[in-house]
């Protein structure tokens, strides 16, 4: 199952005061709070763990077809990138730059393609272009969301088996997609 989440670090700084009383306790388990306070860069650790929780939330909701919930504490993050929730375990990978933290949930069997875009780029167009080129599709492609707001790719108006996940925050957007078989994109 796939999922992704991006945190614009400048934007997060403006929007959220994680040092506010009670804030960390509402989101993070006692162990995660330990990771945060004992890390060299607590701010970065807060947002890294948060993006892991958000990315896995998307994958997990999709996998079990769950309705929306705000339960960040149920997603228990480990420093190596694994996240446990309700008896399931997901593997994540986080890319950390000066500007953003971008986490993807790695599909267990399939390959995937993932890309970060600036906000001036239309992420939907970038995604469509990437799928067309990568999978050599010439039919019209569209992205539609279901009742749980999970996006799906339609090729020639038929739902495809391409899994897609999108994320936006501040100045950045990102997308990832995966299909049943291994894919290679140049």
Helix, strand, or coil (residue 8): strand
Q: Binding segment for another protein among 36-44, 69-77, 125-133, 134-142 (CB under 8 A)? A: 69-77
> Strands of 82-85's sheet, edge to edge?
3-8, 100-105, 88-96, 82-85, 76-77
Q: Tell me the C-alpha distance between 26 and 23, whole Å.
A: 6
Residue that has been written with the tokens 């272009």 in this structure: 129
Q: State yes or no: residue 54 binds another protein (CB under 8 A).
A: yes
C-beta of 157: minimal distance to another protein in Å? Answer: 25
C-beta of 181: minimal distance to another protein in Å? Answer: 33
Residues in the chain: 186
Residue that has been written with the tokens 């934007």 in this structure: 11
- Dihedral through CA 97, CA 103, CA 106, CA 107, nearest 10? -140
Give the one residue of 38, 149, 158, 184 binding another protein; rule: CB under 8 A: 149
Q: State yes or no: residue 75 binds another protein (CB under 8 A).
A: no
C-beta of 68: minimal distance to another protein in Å? Answer: 6
Q: State yes or no: residue 20 binds another protein (CB under 8 A).
A: yes
Q: State yes or no: residue 12 binds another protein (CB under 8 A).
A: yes
Q: State yes or no: residue 14 binds another protein (CB under 8 A).
A: no
Helix, strand, or coil (residue 135): helix
Q: State yes or no: residue 29 binds another protein (CB under 8 A).
A: no
Give the one residue of 23, 41, 122, 182 binding another protein; rule: CB under 8 A: 23
Q: Tell me the C-alpha distance between 9 and 171, whole Å.
A: 10
Q: Contact positions toward another protein, by CB under 8 A?
A: 12, 15-16, 20-23, 26-27, 50, 54, 68-74, 149, 169
């Amino acid at each position: 199952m796939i999922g992704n989440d991006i945190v614009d670090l400048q934007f997060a700084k403006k929007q959220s005061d994680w040092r506010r009383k009670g804030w960390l306790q509402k989101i993070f388990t006692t162990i995660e709070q330990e990771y945060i306070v004992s890390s060299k860069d607590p701010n970065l650790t807060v947002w890294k763990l948060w993006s892991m929780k958000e990315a896995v939330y998307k994958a997990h909701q999709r996998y079990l077809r769950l309705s929306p919930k705000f339960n960040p504490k149920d997603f228990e993050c480990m420093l190596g990138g694994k996240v446990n929730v309700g008896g399931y375990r997901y593997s994540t990978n986080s890319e950390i730059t000066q500007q953003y933290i971008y986490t993807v949930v790695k599909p267990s069997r399939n390959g995937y393609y993932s890309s970060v875009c600036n906000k001036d780029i239309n992420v939907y167009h970038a995604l469509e272009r990437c799928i067309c080129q990568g999978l050599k599709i010439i039919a019209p492609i569209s992205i539609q969301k279901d009742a749980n707001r999970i996006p799906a790719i339609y090729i020639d108006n038929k739902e495809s088996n391409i899994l897609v996940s999108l994320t936006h925050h501040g100045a950045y957007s990102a997308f990832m997609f995966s299909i049943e078989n291994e894919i290679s994109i140049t």
